[in-house]
């Protein structure tokens, strides 16, 4: 299978065959994550155990808040932005309040209300530029960029061509503007329990 492959610098890619969305659906990527960007397949590297632990904590808090509510939270769900015909992103976390976007057979079709991406070295530039622009143009209302190393959250409110940013630190309870009364406890997200779990499991993985 042809795909976009990164060399040592993630912004450098080797372009290969282009696929339609329908062709992409037929491909088997096994346990790997893959996104489709303007018809080109981009294989996504494993984010690391710290990345997974942080995303898992945020997902758990959102799932608990949304229990019994109409909006739904998902983890790594393929998302086809409707105005970009052959583009599919796989956000770390997304919240969808218009559930008709989930009724088209595979993933989410259309802009989620809220997206969270956890930075990793290979995706930081993409998350901060390419995905920010794509999500804004598609109509995503709120986009969080999580910085695990500095224990910071950039919460971006996207309104057409305008973007407002608020930065929260590990001691804050960060409000989700698109979900009234929802706050994410960042002390729990960046707690030693969460981060140590990520490091412990990374060490176990390297041994095996």
For the chain, give the percent of residues with pLDDT over 90: 66
Least confident span in 2-6, 32-36, 82-86: 2-6
Q: Across all residues in the chain, what is the average pLDDT?
A: 86
- The region of weakest confidence among 144-148, 163-167, 203-207 is 203-207
The answer, yes or no, to whether residue 91 has pLDDT greater than 60, is: yes
Structural domains present in the chain = 47-207 (3.90.1570.10)
pLDDT exceeding 70 applies to what percent of the chain?
87
Residue 113 has pLDDT above 80, yes or no: yes
- Where are the extended beta strands (E) located within 76-189? 79-80, 88-89, 93-96, 108-109, 114-118, 142-147, 152-159, 162-169, 173-175, 183-185
For 35-57, how does the pLDDT look when each residue is reduced to its tens digit (9 = 90+)?
999 999 998 877 788 999 999 99
Q: Rounded distance, CA 133 to CA 176, Å?
A: 20
The full DSSP string for 60-78 is: HHHHHHHTTSS-EEEES--
Q: Which two tokens stand for residue 141?
A: 């209302």
- Element housing 195 (H / E): helix 192-207
SS3 percent helix, strand, coil of the chain, rounded to 5, is: 30, 30, 40
Mean pLDDT along residues 58-71: 97
């Amino acid at each position: 299978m042809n795909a976009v492959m990164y060399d040592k610098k993630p912004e450098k890619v080797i372009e290969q065959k282009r696929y339609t969305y329908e062709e992409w659906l037929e491909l088997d990527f096994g346990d790997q994550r893959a996104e489709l960007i303007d018809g080109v397949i981009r294989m996504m590297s494993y984010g690391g155990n710290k990345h997974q632990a942080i995303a898992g904590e945020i997902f758990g808090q959102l799932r608990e808040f949304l229990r019994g509510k109409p909006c739904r939270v998902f983890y790594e769900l393929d998302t086809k932005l409707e105005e970009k015909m052959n583009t599919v992103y796989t956000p770390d976390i997304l919240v969808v309040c218009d559930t008709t976007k989930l009724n088209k057979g595979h993933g989410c079709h259309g802009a989620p209300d809220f997206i969270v991406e956890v930075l990793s070295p290979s995706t930081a530039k993409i998350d901060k530029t390419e995905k920010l622009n794509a999500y804004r143009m598609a109509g995503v209302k709120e986009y969080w960029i999580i910085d695990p190393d500095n224990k910071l959250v950039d919460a971006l409110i996207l309104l057409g061509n305008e973007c407002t940013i608020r930065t929260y630190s590990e001691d804050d309870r960060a409000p989700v503007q698109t979900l009234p009364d929802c706050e994410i406890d960042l002390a729990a997200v960046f707690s030693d329990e969460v981060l140590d779990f990520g490091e412990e499991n990374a060490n176990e993985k390297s041994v095996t």
